Chains A and B, each alone.
Chain A
Amino acid sequence: MPGNPRSPSALSIIDFDHLRAAHLLARIQSEPGMRADALFERSHRERLHWSTDQRPNDSPRQKIHREQGFVVRLLANDRSWQESRDSFHGSDFDAALRRVARSLSSVPLPHLELESAAWPALSGSLSRIPRRIEEAVRERRAAFPFSVELTHHRRDLLVVGPAILAEPQSENYVSFSAAIVDGTNRTVGGLFPLSSSEAGTAIGTQDRSSIGQHVASLLVERFRAREARPPHPERANVVLSPHAAAVFLHEAVAHALEADILSASGNLGDAIGLELGATSLSVLDDPNAAPVGVRRTHDDEGTPTKKRWLLREGRVGQPIADVAWSERSASVDPGCGRRASRHELAGPRSYFLDMLEGSTSNEALLSGEGLWLDQIVRGSLEPITGLVTLVAACGRRFDNGSLGERVGLTVVRGSLADLLSSVSAVGAIRAEGGAGWCAKGGQRMPVWARCPSLRLDQIQVQAP
Chain B
Amino acid sequence: MSAALDTGSEDRFEQCLNNCEAPFQAIGTPQKELVVKAGKLRIATFSINSQDALRIDSQTAEETGHAVRIGDKQGSLAVFTAGWPTTDLAHNLGPKGLVSKAPLQLPTLAAIEIATSHREPSRAPAPELDRPLLSEAEARRLIEKISDLLETEISGAFTLKGRLADGASETVLVNGHGVKARERARSSSLRLELSIKDRTVSAYVGGGTGIALRPAQTVQRLVDRLAIAEKAQAFRAQETTVLLAPEVTSALLGGIARQFLGSTSKQPAAASAVSIRDDPTAAVGSIWSLTDGEGVPTRPLQLVSNGTRCAWLKPWTHRGDEDMTPFTGCRYRASWRDLPRHSCSNLILEASQTPPKAMLEELRDGAYLVGSDQAPRRLPDGTLQLAVIGFEISQGSVGTPIKSVLAVPYDQVLSRIEAVGRDLHHMLPGGRAACVAAPTALLLGVDLLSD
* Residues of chain A having any CB pair with chain B under 8 Å: 48, 54, 58-69, 78-88, 92, 99, 116, 118-119, 121-122, 124, 127, 183-184, 260, 263-267, 324, 328, 343, 345, 382-385, 442
- Tell whether A63 pairs with B80 under 8 Å between CB atoms, given A54-B101, A183-B380, A385-B199: yes
Contact between chains at A82 and B98 (CB < 8 Å)? no
The chain A residue with its CB closest to the CB of B83 is: A86
Could you tell me which residues of chain B, from 58 to 74, have a CB within 8 Å of some CB in chain A? 58-65
Contact between chains at A267 and B83 (CB < 8 Å)? no
Is there a chain A Cβ closer than 8 Å to B362's Cβ?
no
Complex: A64 Cα to B101 Cα, angstroms: 15
Contact between chains at A263 and B50 (CB < 8 Å)? yes
Contact between chains at B64 and A122 (CB < 8 Å)? no
CB-CB under 8 A from B77, the residues of chain A are: 62, 64
Contact between chains at B64 and A86 (CB < 8 Å)? yes
Which of B92, B97, B200 is A119 in contact with, Cβ under 8 Å? B92
CB-CB under 8 A from B16, the residues of chain A are: none
Contact between chains at B61 and A343 (CB < 8 Å)? yes
Which of A48, A65, A82 is B100 in contact with, Cβ under 8 Å? A48
CB-CB under 8 A from B50, the residues of chain A are: 263-267
- Closest-CB distance, B171 to chain A (whole angstroms): 14
CB-CB under 8 A from A68, the residues of chain B are: 82-83
- Closest-CB distance, B296 to chain A (whole angstroms): 22
CB-CB under 8 A from A265, the residues of chain B are: 50
CB-CB under 8 A from B64, the residues of chain A are: 85-87
Label chain A's interface by main secondary structure. mixed
- Tell whether A382 pairs with B55 under 8 Å between CB atoms, given A69-B82, A84-B60, A266-B50: no
Complex: A60 Cα to B77 Cα, angstroms: 10
Is there a chain A Cβ closer than 8 Å to B422's Cβ?
no
Complex: A455 Cα to B92 Cα, angstroms: 51
- Tell whether A85 pairs with B62 under 8 Å between CB atoms, given A63-B80, A78-B56: yes
Contact between chains at A267 and B56 (CB < 8 Å)? no
* Residue among B49, B75, B195 with max Cβ neighbours from chain A (10 Å): B49
The chain B residue with its CB closest to the CB of A126 is: B98
5 A-B residue pairs with Cβ-Cβ distance under 8 Å, sorted by A, are A61-B102, A62-B77, A85-B63, A343-B63, A442-B191
Which of B58, B199, B339 is A82 in contact with, Cβ under 8 Å? B58
The chain B residue with its CB closest to the CB of A119 is: B92
What 16 new A-B contacts, CB under 8 Å, besides A62-B98, A183-B380?
A60-B100, A63-B80, A66-B82, A79-B57, A85-B64, A86-B64, A86-B65, A118-B91, A184-B380, A260-B47, A264-B49, A264-B50, A345-B57, A345-B59, A384-B199, A385-B198
Could you tell me which residues of chain B, from 150 to 207, have a CB within 8 Å of some CB in chain A? 160, 191, 195, 198-200
Complex: A215 Cα to B160 Cα, angstroms: 39
Is there a chain A Cβ closer than 8 Å to B259's Cβ?
no
What is the size category of the interface that chain B forms with chain A?
35 or more
Is there a chain A Cβ closer than 8 Å to B110's Cβ?
no
Could you tell me which residues of chain B, from 73 to 93, have a CB within 8 Å of some CB in chain A? 75, 77-84, 88, 91-92
- Tell whether A267 pairs with B51 under 8 Å between CB atoms, given A119-B92, A124-B98: yes
Which of B49, B61, B78, B84 is A64 in contact with, Cβ under 8 Å? B78
Complex: A62 Cα to B93 Cα, angstroms: 12
Is there a chain A Cβ closer than 8 Å to B132's Cβ?
no
- Closest-CB distance, B359 to chain A (whole angstroms): 35
Contact between chains at B53 and A61 (CB < 8 Å)? no
Contact between chains at A382 and B59 (CB < 8 Å)? no
Contact between chains at B81 and A382 (CB < 8 Å)? no
The chain A residue with its CB closest to the CB of B62 is: A85
Contact between chains at A80 and B58 (CB < 8 Å)? yes
- Closest-CB distance, A332 to chain B (whole angstroms): 13
CB-CB under 8 A from B55, the residues of chain A are: 78-79, 324
Is there a chain A Cβ closer than 8 Å to B342's Cβ?
no
Is there a chain A Cβ closer than 8 Å to B320's Cβ?
no
CB-CB under 8 A from A184, the residues of chain B are: 380
